[in-house]
Structure 1
Amino acid sequence: MLAQRLRQARKAKGYTQEDLAKLVNTKKTTISNYETEYSSPSNEMLIDLANVLGTTTDYLLGRTANPSPKEAEKEMSLFFYDDLEGYDELSPEEKEVFREHMYDEARQAIELVKKLKKQGKRGGMYER
């Protein structure tokens, strides 16, 4: 599965094996070995490959059929909200509005954490 998906994703981006190898700091033969199932990438290399190819490690490994990282985020958010009381009673349109709102809230929370970390706030989870 990995070999086939890696090859498909590489070709979809218009990369040769040599192009991809340069982008992930390895050799063309290494990429060839992955695509022929002669060897498998390390976890770190798998992450690099997914990032360069604009997909997810789950897609490359065959855990999901959707190659889009954005769609994978939506699938994750849907999974998260499935058990939330009252969520199931919302219409599809209301669910979409809810998810967009929660996405905005989460993005703001991430920015706050980054800002606090940058300012060197002490205490709790921000201390390093």
Structure 2
Amino acid sequence: MENSENILERVKQLAKEKNMTLSEIEEKSDLAPRSIYSWKTKNPTGTKIQKVADTLNTTSDYLLGRSNDPSPIDEEDDPSMFFRIDMRNVPEEDRDEFKAQLKLLKDFAFKQIEEARKEQEKEDKNKK
């Protein structure tokens, strides 16, 4: 059960960082009491892992050990939908501005691609 122990350890670490108890996480995740602690000896379901990940504002990939980045993916027009960015080194007070700058970069890149596509179509048309 090494994998479930790793999941439990990651949950405990994030809980500690967020000043939450496992009981609080279970309650907010709509899980039975002491169910997270039982992950020490048995593997949790994907649904339970996702509920806990959502409660802890992280990803299931992080809890499962598939990623070492606990940063969540904010789906509302967030550049991390295109880039996976480790936000741990970005100070909390700078994160909104950092995301705004990444959005500008993403928009600029899409504009450049569209302009290049139009230029290529124009060249192709002139060749005919």
Deviations for 1:66-93, whole angstroms, at most 9, x for unmatched residues?
101148x7566248xxxxxxxxxxxxxx
Aligned alpha-carbon RMSD (Å): 3.0
Residue 99 (structure 1) aligned with residue 102 (structure 2): no
- The alpha carbon displacement at 1:6 in A equals 1.0
Match among 36, 40, 54 for residue 57 of structure 2: 54
Question: Which consecutive residues of structure 1, in runs of 5 or more, have no partner in the other structure?
Answer: 80-95, 104-128
1:42 paired with 2:45, answer yes
When Rg is computed on C-alpha atoms for both structures, the one with the higher figure is: 2
TM-score, normalisation: structure 2: 0.55
Aligned residues: 86
Q: Distance in 2 between matches of 1:32 and 1:11?
A: 14
Q: Which amino acid aligns with 1:66?
A: D
Unaligned runs of 5+ in 2: 1-5, 85-101, 111-128
Match among 24, 28, 34 for residue 33 of structure 2: 28
Per the alignment, residue 7 of structure 1 pairs with 12
What TM-score do the two structures reach when normalised by structure 1? 0.55
Seq. identity, %: 25
- Give 1:39 deviation, angstroms: 1.6
CA separation of 1:78/1:53 partners in 2, compared to 1, >3 Å: closer, same or farther?
closer
Partner Cα separation in structure 1 for residue 68 and residue 47 of structure 2: 22
Q: Which residue of 1 aligns with 2:68?
A: 65
Give how far 1:27 is off.
2.4
